[in-house]
A and B are shown apart, each in its own frame.
Chain A
Amino acid sequence: MTTSIVDNGVNVAALLGAREAFADMPEIARFQWRSQVSWVNGTHSEAEVETFSGFGDEQRHSKRFAFDIDHPLQFAAEDNGITPVEYVLVALGGCLTAGIAAVAQQRGIQLRSVRATVAAEMDLHGILGADPDVRNGFSGVRVDYSIDADASRAEIEALVAQSQKRSAVYDVMTNPTAVTVNVN
């Protein structure tokens, strides 16, 4: 048997260490994620993400990240950034792909390339209030993966399935979440 070191750039030991630490101190597993969004003009807003809390303390990213949110010219907007719904696709693809890397690392599978095509169907009758039978959100989301890895097809399918099972964004999108919006 040959042994080779599988490296997908995921520190599995740290992840498993966190799981053990949570067993002793479950309260440190409580996290809060944040974003600040400021209207610029028209449908253009700018979102900043810098701080979060977790591990029993205030935390921050290594730098402040900023994102433009807008709508395309076809919507008579200025296209200063991608649409909010496209950020949802970015989030889903990013979450599932990170999960695939982590699960592959833990299962000793070397990845060479992972590519997801994320597509969502939407009927604009919903957000325009033109048809009460059509919902605002997606009518369906489809993710197609092309994965090159040292593994059988069944092992790769299992990676993708396990990643969905442990994905926060997949859960957010497939299950209802209580949303409270206040005006201060």
Chain B
Amino acid sequence: MHHTTTVVIGAGHCGLAMSRCLAERSIDHVVLERGEVAHSWRTQRWDSLRLLTPNWMTRLPGHTYSGDDPHGYLDMPGVVRLLEDYATGAPVLTGTTVTSVQPFGQGYLVRTDRDAWQARTVVVATGATGAPAQPVVPLPPGITTVTAANYRNPGQIPDGGVLVVGASASGIQIADELARSGRSVTLAVGEHVRMPRTYRGRDILWWMDASGVLDERWDVAPDLVRARNLPSMQLIGAPRTLDLNTLQSNGVALVGRLAGIRDASVQFSGSLANVCTLADLKLGRLLNTFDAWADRTGVEAEAPQRFAPTRTPPPALSAPLGRGGIESVVWATGFRPDFSFLHVPVFDRKGRIVHDGGVTHAPGLYVMGLPFLRRRKSTLIDGADADARELAEHLVGGLDVLAGRAS
């Protein structure tokens, strides 16, 4: 049995940022990583994927972007190199899968497929995308299915009709790529977050970052439940806007949210027009806040602009499954975290971890990298910095209390 003050689980950007913050505070710790550094970035991303945030936003504690393409978007090998470099000197044990975490004395017992660790504190940094969140839909045999996590490129998908379910960042990019490959693509669209790549001549992430939208805090958010459940923004890591209008121009057929299966047909909700209206209106409100902020602060930017409403096609409420119809399905229905190794009573009735800005009810147990954990940007690479610093402060404070009790 090994002993340490803090076990960090996961060597992605969150775990490594936390490691850096703990090291700065001279907290003895280890980072346990099931695969290699940046494991999910290496193994659960499709080939053409690039970060949705521009390079200048790949900021981590003690790291800022210094390359010659600040407005570009990193590809996955680039992200892996970034995190490998960043991990230099961090106490990372790779190839070590945590099998269980349970309360033990004044801390936790962390079992792995190799050694066991005893620690006063544990930081779970395994991320928000542990497992695909896939609706239970009984598709007939013979229909090829992949999730956004195991989709790699169009070569995986048979020729013929393909249904992409979900119109957030993954779904729109995969639908676009499949349509460009010549396939007949239908995109099932539920609630979504429409976002242009640039606004008034600047990257949309610049507006969010500069105006403070990304820094909105969890403890003052008006409806945190809703904010934490928002789908990802419709963005692609490229200097172009990819929205439902672009997709339709490229030949993608839009339908409503996937509603069910009946008689070898897949059914779609009749709510497409309303979810598009909701997203258009919401985008308009966001752009209003940017314009108001720009007026207040005297930001130099091009003239305000507004985007054409989303075109909605005549409703198609069903499509045949099988030969000549939809022959494959891509589930781009989001992810959920996988905390199955965590044997500590910190979950609600739906199995979601309960936390207040990453601080769980169990003393010394922390979580990172979940949507709106402490700020709107908590799931961005750029969000790890502030969250890690604050949680490291809290963690050290807890250790001081323990030390005070012991003396």
What residues of chain A lie closer than 8 Å to B281, measured between beta carbons? 154, 157-158, 161
A8-49 toward B: CB 8 Å interface, digit per residue (1/0)? 000000000000000000100000000000000000000000
What residues of chain A lie closer than 8 Å to B285, measured between beta carbons? 154, 158
Q: Decide yes or no: A174 and B349 within 8 Å by CB, A154-B281, A158-B281, A165-B278 being known contacts.
A: no
Q: Decide yes or no: A161 and B278 within 8 Å by CB, A173-B270, A174-B269, A176-B267 being known contacts.
A: yes
Q: Is B284 an interface residue (CB 8 A)?
A: yes
Of B53-61, B159-167, B256-264, B360-368, the one touching chain A: B256-264
> What is the minimal beta-carbon distance from A161 to any residue of chain B, in angstroms?
5
With CB as the reference atom, state the residue of chain A lying closest to B260.
A176
With CB as the reference atom, state the residue of chain B lying closest to A140.
B315
Are A170 and B271 in contact, CB atoms less than 8 angstroms apart? Answer: yes
B265-285 toward A: CB 8 Å interface, digit per residue (1/0)? 001011100110110010011
The answer for the CA separation of A173 and B270 in the assembled complex, in Å, is: 8
The answer for the CA separation of A26 and B349 in the assembled complex, in Å, is: 9
Q: Decide yes or no: A176 and B259 within 8 Å by CB, A140-B315, A154-B281, A158-B281 being known contacts.
A: yes
With CB as the reference atom, state the residue of chain A lying closest to B271.
A174
Are B269 and A175 in contact, CB atoms less than 8 angstroms apart? Answer: yes
Give residues 277-304 of B contacting A (CB, 8 Å). Answer: 277-278, 281, 284-285
Q: Decide yes or no: A164 and B267 within 8 Å by CB, A175-B259, A176-B259, A176-B260 being known contacts.
A: no
The answer for the CA separation of A176 and B260 in the assembled complex, in Å, is: 7
With CB as the reference atom, state the residue of chain A lying closest to B278.
A161
Partner of A162 from B262, B278, B315, B349 at Cβ < 8 Å: B278
Give chain B's interface secondary structure class: mixed
Q: How many A-B residue pairs have CB under 8 A?
A: 38
What residues of chain B lie closer than 8 Å to A161, measured between beta carbons? 274, 277-278, 281
With CB as the reference atom, state the residue of chain A lying closest to B256.
A174
Give residues 60-119 of B contacting A (CB, 8 Å). Answer: none
What residues of chain B lie closer than 8 Å to A154, measured between beta carbons? 281, 284-285
What residues of chain A lie closer than 8 Å to B284, measured between beta carbons? 154
Are B270 and A174 in contact, CB atoms less than 8 angstroms apart? Answer: yes
The answer for the CA separation of A164 and B256 in the assembled complex, in Å, is: 14
> What is the minimal beta-carbon distance from A93 to any residue of chain B, in angstroms?
16
Name, among A26, A165, A174, A176, the residue most crowded by chain B CB atoms within 10 Å (CB to CB): A174
The answer for the CA separation of A140 and B272 in the assembled complex, in Å, is: 13
Give residues 148-171 of A contacting B (CB, 8 Å). Answer: 154, 157-158, 161-162, 164-165, 170
Give residues 127-162 of A contacting B (CB, 8 Å). Answer: 140, 154, 157-158, 161-162
A46-75 toward B: CB 8 Å interface, digit per residue (1/0)? 000000000000000000000000000000
The answer for the CA separation of A110 and B260 in the assembled complex, in Å, is: 39
The answer for the CA separation of A129 and B113 in the assembled complex, in Å, is: 65
What residues of chain A lie closer than 8 Å to B349, measured between beta carbons? 26
What residues of chain B lie closer than 8 Å to A158, measured between beta carbons? 278, 281, 285
Name, among B256, B277, B284, B349, the residue most crowded by chain A CB atoms within 10 Å (CB to CB): B277
Are B271 and A164 in contact, CB atoms less than 8 angstroms apart? Answer: yes
B170-195 toward A: CB 8 Å interface, digit per residue (1/0)? 00000000000000000000010000
The answer for the CA separation of A31 and B331 in the assembled complex, in Å, is: 32
The answer for the CA separation of A128 and B231 in the assembled complex, in Å, is: 44
With CB as the reference atom, state the residue of chain A lying closest to B259.
A175
Give residues 111-164 of B contacting A (CB, 8 Å). Answer: none
Are B262 and A176 in contact, CB atoms less than 8 angstroms apart? Answer: yes
Are A164 and B259 in contact, CB atoms less than 8 angstroms apart? Answer: no
With CB as the reference atom, state the residue of chain A lying closest to B284.
A154
With CB as the reference atom, state the residue of chain A lying closest to B191.
A165
Give residues 228-272 of B contacting A (CB, 8 Å). Answer: 256-257, 259-260, 262, 267, 269-271
With CB as the reference atom, state the residue of chain A lying closest to B270.
A174
What residues of chain B lie closer than 8 Å to A164, measured between beta carbons? 271, 274
The answer for the CA separation of A164 and B270 in the assembled complex, in Å, is: 11
The answer for the CA separation of A7 and B202 in the assembled complex, in Å, is: 42
Name, among A158, A161, A164, the residue most crowded by chain B CB atoms within 10 Å (CB to CB): A161
Are B259 and A165 in contact, CB atoms less than 8 angstroms apart? Answer: no
> What is the minimal beta-carbon distance from B275 to any residue of chain A, in angstroms?
8
What residues of chain A lie closer than 8 Å to B277, measured between beta carbons? 157, 161
The answer for the CA separation of A173 and B278 in the assembled complex, in Å, is: 19
The answer for the CA separation of A165 and B284 in the assembled complex, in Å, is: 18
What residues of chain A lie closer than 8 Å to B259, measured between beta carbons? 175-176
List of 3 A-B pairs having minimum Cβ-Cβ separation, nearest first: A174-B270, A164-B274, A174-B271
Which B residues are closer than 8 A to A by beta carbons? 191, 256-257, 259-260, 262, 267, 269-271, 274-275, 277-278, 281, 284-285, 315, 349
Which A residues are closer than 8 A to B by beta carbons? 26, 140, 154, 157-158, 161-162, 164-165, 170, 173-176
Known: A175-B259, A176-B262. 18 other contacts (CB 8 A): A154-B281, A154-B284, A154-B285, A157-B277, A157-B281, A158-B278, A158-B285, A161-B278, A161-B281, A162-B278, A165-B274, A174-B269, A174-B271, A175-B257, A175-B270, A175-B271, A176-B259, A176-B267
Contacts A/B (CB < 8 Å), 5 sampled: A26-B349, A154-B281, A158-B281, A164-B271, A174-B269
